[in-house]
Structure 1
Amino acid sequence: MSAGSYPRRAWLTSVIRFLPTLLLGIAGGGLAYVAGLPLPWLLGALIASTLVSLSGMRLRSPGRARRVVLAVIGVMLGTAFSPDMTGDVTAWGASLLVMLMATALMMAFSMWFGRRVAGYSVSTALYAGVPGGVSAVTLMAVESNADLRIVGLTHAVRILVLLVAIPPVLSLLGHVTLQSQTVGWAHWLAVPGPGDSLMLAFAGLAGVVLGRWLRLPNPLLFGPVLVSAALHVSGMTEAGIPPMIVALAQVIIGLSVGVRFGGTPLREVGHGLMMAVVQAVALLAIAVGAAWGIHAATGISAAAALLAYMPGGAPELSLAALSLGIDPAFVTSHHLLRLSVLVLLLPWLLRGMSRLAQR
């Protein structure tokens, strides 16, 4: 047997082991879709996998499937850009500035809350409090003395709280219609032509290479966004990702959040869980306030601003914006800028906070 067959066998084994989790996610998404819930495939899979995980059952993580899905989502988000985009540059600039100010406020609150209320170390409070970029933040936390269990739990709970909060908060803002629409099989089975399909595949593959070369935060997501956006803005293609793949991407993203709670004894993480929920709600309140403020000042959609200002994660919130038709280009641009700034500043922030703690 050749050496190359072993990776293929391992990949096939991983796929087979993941199938029960995938079927659970599809079933949860399907029930949510039939029930007419907003973001049915994402929230249905998320809720189903979270409940099963918290019951004590350990579900298989999407693993490599999530990496592929991130690239697919990146291509999908790039399709939101078009040649006739005529966004108000002044309003966008003001919104980006408000987003950075809100992010600074979120970081300040998270550091205060983590140190003074939750009792975490400086590094744990910092990495657990970063509003987004869970993959990059976790990698950076590994190289510190941060409590990785608290960091991971806090980010997972925050994403869970944000995704579940999206429908009621958007309805409260009153700037978007969230009624689920029933569509026929022709919609689900629609696929672009061969030429457009090649363009989309190229955007995904070239985007991953570009994202890694540019060292973007979350290169598997934002690299394909840039290439796909360039192809669509230039008018080289107008094709979108088939709806069936969009639904499957939502299912896998929902599962990737829910399975993080697998094997988590609630009695052992009760304090961390409670702190994570309180922190998530507080950061959400900051995002709501900032979104309403920029809407009142510039007329920018409050719903788009909210999804752009919410404290992570970028794949989940950008996918929600795309699925709900809430200016995904606007939302994605804000998350890309925020993650880039945070990744650059985190080492400096850790050194500064450590010096203050020593004093």
Structure 2
Amino acid sequence: MPQIPGPLKILPVYAIAAAGGFAFYKLGLPLPWMIGPLVATAALAFSERFEIRIPVQTRPFGQGVVAAQVGLSFSPAVFAQLLQMAPLLVGMALMIIFVGFAIALVLSRMARIPLTSAMIATLPTSPVEAAVVAERYNFPPAPIILSQTMRISTVVVLIPTAIFFIDGELGRTARQMNTAFHIPSLLALAGLSMLGMWLFFKLRISNPYFLGPLALSSIVTAAGVELVPFPSLVLWAAQVVLGTWLGSNFRRSLFTSAGRMVMASVVSTLLFIVASALIAASLSQVVGMSWETLVLASTPGGVTEMALTAKFLGIDVALITAFHLVRIFIVVPSIPHIIDRLHRYENR
């Protein structure tokens, strides 16, 4: 099988991915520059005509660009609004844990795996972090990575598509191209992004390549400094990078080795999305917020991908990002404690 290693030889993969994004853009489909590359690269990887290995080190560029841009939405007024909504933010995060436990029970039964392993595969975190936890408890990491990757990818494809076609008017402004190019402002924003990544990495904070740029960009914005957002071409390039990395994980060998876990992961992921969406839509009637906002806020997807989805659909980016950040700060630190207690219970 031909291999495509090295930074230069993966450029054709990015070209194919970008072509997929352009095709989705021309077709008027939602989130085209992420979903198009994801689908194109997944098809290429699954065919196994070439062994595609997109380094995980490519993700920081995409995450840093998106995070710095999202941080520009955090004005002082937005911060004040988020503080008032703190109980709702925390409540939604706890809801994700309880729904995740119920879905893990389903996955455990369907895939015939221990509940502890199913919980690691279900709770929203990154595939790499989930694999590390799995190895700590001597569970095979490959099925865990598959389940987590399928969750993120399914959310990226399904949620924006569903909301777009139910209420497509939301996303029309997101298709307008931003050509503003104020060099000092762009250099300042890029510098903040790189400084944030470096600082959070050195401090060993989880998800440093997103949270670092987001923190510094939002602090500067909240202080009243106005920076020009990245041009559309830069944001599109970031999405192509993220979509390509996600799609490259869909190798046929991963599916064939997972056995029953494949269908079980598909079913449990869809159940997770549907259950979260139904609860959020019902809650929207009580709290007086739009169902689109709460559905996107409750979706068990990655914060980077959900911030991009909110931007495309014209939904409050800062609010959606805040929901997912609170979820991260509650769920991710809780995972080791939840898994440890569950593992002890199963092995008592």
CA shift, 1:84, in A, is 4.0
2:228 pairs with one of 215, 226, 239: 239
1:145 pairs with one of 138, 142, 151: 138
C-alpha change, 1:192 and 1:305, in structure 2 (3 Å) is: farther
Q: 2:331 matched to which residue of 1?
A: 342
CA shift, 1:294, in A, is 2.8
Alignment of 1:297-316 (within 5 A): 297-316=286-305
Mapped contact 2:307–2:320 kept (Cα < 8 A): yes
1:25 pairs with one of 17, 21, 33: 17
Q: What RMSD in Å do the two structures reach over aligned CA positions?
A: 2.4
Q: Which stretch shows the higher mean deviation, 60-69 or 158-167?
A: 60-69
Q: Aligned AA for 1:156? A: T
Q: TM-score if structure 1 supplies the norm length?
A: 0.87
Q: Which stretch shows the higher mean deviation, 95-104 or 67-76?
A: 95-104
- 3-state SS, counterpart of residue 36 of structure 1: coil
Paired with 2:24 and 2:183, the residues of 1 have a C-alpha distance of 31
CA shift, 1:33, in A, is 0.7
Is it true that 1:43 corresponds to 2:35 in the alignment?
A: yes
CA shift, 1:243, in A, is 0.8
Q: 2:93 matched to which residue of 1?
A: 100
Q: Structure 1 regions of 5+ residues with no counterpart? A: 1-12
Paired with 1:288 and 1:256, the residues of 2 have a C-alpha distance of 26
Q: TM-score if structure 2 supplies the norm length?
A: 0.90
Q: Structure 2 regions of 5+ residues with no counterpart? A: none
C-alpha change, 1:117 and 1:348, in structure 2 (3 Å) is: same
Q: 2:187 matched to which residue of 1?
A: 198
Paired with 2:174 and 2:302, the residues of 1 have a C-alpha distance of 26
Paired with 1:139 and 1:219, the residues of 2 have a C-alpha distance of 17
Mapped contact 2:171–2:314 kept (Cα < 8 A): no
Q: 1:295 matched to which residue of 2?
A: 284
Q: Which stretch shows the higher mean deviation, 263-272 or 230-239?
A: 263-272
Paired with 2:175 and 2:212, the residues of 1 have a C-alpha distance of 33
Is it true that 1:230 corresponds to 2:219 in the alignment?
A: yes
Q: Aligned AA for 1:220? A: Y
Mapped contact 1:73–1:249 kept (Cα < 8 A): yes
C-alpha change, 1:337 and 1:90, in structure 2 (3 Å) is: closer
- 3-state SS, counterpart of residue 206 of structure 2: coil
Alignment of 1:261-272 (within 5 A): 261-264=250-253, 266-272=255-261
CA shift, 1:182, in A, is 5.9
1:169-218, Cα deviation, whole Å (9 max, x unpaired): 314664852358765xxx45432232x12320221122113323554321
Q: Aligned AA for 1:190? A: A
Q: Which stretch shows the higher mean deviation, 211-220 or 285-294?
A: 211-220
C-alpha change, 1:180 and 1:90, in structure 2 (3 Å) is: closer
Mapped contact 1:46–1:257 kept (Cα < 8 A): yes
Is it true that 1:119 corresponds to 2:112 in the alignment?
A: yes
CA shift, 1:25, in A, is 0.8
Mapped contact 1:157–1:273 kept (Cα < 8 A): no
C-alpha change, 1:112 and 1:176, in structure 2 (3 Å) is: farther
C-alpha change, 1:323 and 1:15, in structure 2 (3 Å) is: farther
Mapped contact 1:136–1:218 kept (Cα < 8 A): no
Q: 1:9 matched to which residue of 2?
A: none
Paired with 2:135 and 2:317, the residues of 1 have a C-alpha distance of 32
C-alpha change, 1:250 and 1:267, in structure 2 (3 Å) is: same
CA shift, 1:220, in A, is 0.8
Q: 1:55 matched to which residue of 2?
A: 47
Paired with 1:328 and 1:182, the residues of 2 have a C-alpha distance of 16
Mapped contact 1:113–1:279 kept (Cα < 8 A): yes
CA shift, 1:257, in A, is 1.0
Mapped contact 1:43–1:163 kept (Cα < 8 A): yes
1:74 pairs with one of 60, 67, 71: 67
C-alpha change, 1:172 and 1:299, in structure 2 (3 Å) is: farther
C-alpha change, 1:214 and 1:326, in structure 2 (3 Å) is: farther
CA shift, 1:41, in A, is 0.8
Q: 1:10 matched to which residue of 2?
A: none
CA shift, 1:23, in A, is 0.4
Q: 1:5 matched to which residue of 2?
A: none
Mapped contact 1:62–1:255 kept (Cα < 8 A): no
C-alpha change, 1:118 and 1:331, in structure 2 (3 Å) is: same
How many residue pairs get aligned? The number is: 343
CA shift, 1:92, in A, is 2.2
CA shift, 1:256, in A, is 1.2
Q: 2:272 matched to which residue of 1?
A: 283
